[in-house]
Chain A
């Protein structure tokens, strides 16, 4: 683990860019630190390479704040208990390092008017398929940061669909973190006003905890997954700005109780938007594109305010 910046990219490989593996961080005191963590196939010695600071992310500047009361907890008005001599009061957020990089990413994207969406779901819910379609219909240039444990298959699919993509292979890692996105953004060099989609590792548990600096979080739930998924994975669904119910073209073949599913989403994430779509038939794509455009409008308003 890099103690300085809290990242451990020992196992992380980033491909598709010129100087992948190098990154820089600005420490709280303003010092700029540059590291090169060279991605290599043989660096698998560590049981879990990911050193990270975690937080429940705030997905950008949204009116409907996610009730994340922590992350701001630097002794707001509490009197520290008198613990005696030799005690060092810290009140140090464990996820502070990730959050700092996420804030830097958010700033970098914001000044360029680039909307960044963190796309999360269980494996197989349809993230990549949706993206290959979105690339053609979004109306703005799209670039993608792909996260998978192994293979470059998804990045290749995205490139074949016509958009630039960077593949991040986490090895044993189960989620993406802000420092990986920082490197990915630098490699992709997305244009101002464009859309960046981060396709997170297929996982309904861990990615929810890591702020990447995204503008918004989208969670895909497919109709083949079961109505009670939102209740089973509340940490993920509650941070969603948008829940996409995917593969709706299959509904006639399934005993899926859509109303129950939507009710469960609303229980866990009362303020999330919900859209239904099928990447196969195209149903719902217009509404999705419109929602993404509204993010752009809001980002522009914030930028020029």
Chain B
């Protein structure tokens, strides 16, 4: 599946932004409605990071819950599927959260910590 490719992209984004420093932690947001399996990403991470400055970094995955808002009455609800109907008026829900797929932040070795 393509979670391997997603994970490679995560590693690449972190490596490209590390400025040559060793990466200690990568924080990623994966929405519950993104269609991406967070567990599969975790599974691939160490393999993908091997041989890069991201090797040995800790991967933190923030799972973002699905959220919908009614197109008609603005009522919001939690979503476990990427669609739904409003409990109050039965109008379709717009997905407003849970599709995130981004590298939020990363932690690099502080230059001050590096032994000379």
Residues of A participating in the B interface, judged by any CB pair closer than 8 Å: 1, 3, 6, 8, 47-48, 50-56, 67-71, 73, 80, 83-95, 97, 174-175, 205-206, 208-209, 234-235, 238, 267-270
Q: Which residues of A contact B12 (CB under 8 A)?
A: 1, 3, 6, 51
Q: Which of A47, A54, A175 contacts B101 (CB 8 A)?
A: A54
Nearest residue in B to A90 (C-beta to C-beta)? B103
**In contact, A70 and B17 (Cβ under 8 angstroms):** no
Interface flags, B1-43, vs A, CB<8A=1, else 0: 1101110111011111110000010001001001110000000
Q: Which residues of B contact A270 (CB under 8 A)?
A: 83, 92
Q: Which of A92, A94, A269 contacts B6 (CB 8 A)?
A: A94
Q: How many A-B residue pairs have CB under 8 A?
A: 129
**In contact, B2 and A86 (Cβ under 8 angstroms):** no
Q: Report the separation of the CA atoms of residues A91 and B28 in the bound assembly, to the nearest whole angstrom.
A: 9
Contact status of A55 and B2, CB under 8 A, knowing A67-B96, A97-B9, A267-B83: no
Q: Report the separation of the CA atoms of residues A208 and B105 in the bound assembly, to the nearest whole angstrom.
A: 27
We find that the number of chain B residues with CB closer than 8 angstroms to chain A is: 43
Q: Which residues of B contact A71 (CB under 8 A)?
A: 99
**In contact, A69 and B13 (Cβ under 8 angstroms):** no
Q: Which of B1, B5, B16, B99 contacts A69 (CB 8 A)?
A: B99
Q: Which residues of B contact A6 (CB under 8 A)?
A: 9, 12
Q: Which residues of B contact A206 (CB under 8 A)?
A: 1-2
Q: Which residues of B contact A234 (CB under 8 A)?
A: 81-83
**In contact, B108 and A52 (Cβ under 8 angstroms):** no
Task: Tell me, rounded to whole Å, the shortest Cβ–Cβ distance linking A12 to chain B.
Answer: 12
Q: Which of B8, B85, B103, B109 contacts A51 (CB 8 A)?
A: B8
Q: A70-B101, A73-B102, A89-B105 are in contact. List 7 more A-B contacts (CB 8 A).
A: A52-B6, A68-B95, A90-B13, A91-B103, A94-B102, A238-B83, A268-B82
Q: Report the separation of the CA atoms of residues A8 and B9 in the bound assembly, to the nearest whole angstrom.
A: 11
Contact status of A94 and B99, CB under 8 A, knowing A51-B5, A54-B2: no
Task: Tell me, rounded to whole Å, the shortest Cβ–Cβ distance linking A221 to chain B.
Answer: 16
**In contact, A92 and B103 (Cβ under 8 angstroms):** yes
Q: Report the separation of the CA atoms of residues A1 and B96 in the bound assembly, to the nearest whole angstrom.
A: 32
Contact status of A48 and B107, CB under 8 A, knowing A54-B9, A70-B100, A92-B102: no
Q: Which residues of A contact B105 (CB under 8 A)?
A: 80, 83, 87-91
Task: Tell me, rounded to whole Å, the shortest Cβ–Cβ distance linking A219 to chain B.
Answer: 14
List 6 A–B pairs whose Cβ atoms lie within 8 Å, in order of A's numbering: A51-B8, A86-B113, A89-B104, A91-B103, A175-B2, A238-B83
Q: Which residues of A contact B1 (CB under 8 A)?
A: 48, 174, 206
Q: Report the separation of the CA atoms of residues A10 and B13 in the bound assembly, to the nearest whole angstrom.
A: 20
Q: Which of A85, A92, A268 contacts B83 (CB 8 A)?
A: A268
Q: Which residues of A contact B15 (CB under 8 A)?
A: 3
Q: Does B97 contact A (CB under 8 A)?
A: yes
Task: Tell me, rounded to whole Å, the shortest Cβ–Cβ distance linking B2 to chain A.
Answer: 6
Nearest residue in A to B99 (C-beta to C-beta)? A70
Q: Which residues of A contact B110 (CB under 8 A)?
A: 85-86
Q: Report the separation of the CA atoms of residues A290 and B73 in the bound assembly, to the nearest whole angstrom.
A: 34
**In contact, A94 and B13 (Cβ under 8 angstroms):** yes
Contact status of A208 and B106, CB under 8 A, knowing A54-B6, A70-B101, A234-B83: no
Task: Tell me, rounded to whole Å, the shortest Cβ–Cβ distance linking A209 to chain B.
Answer: 5
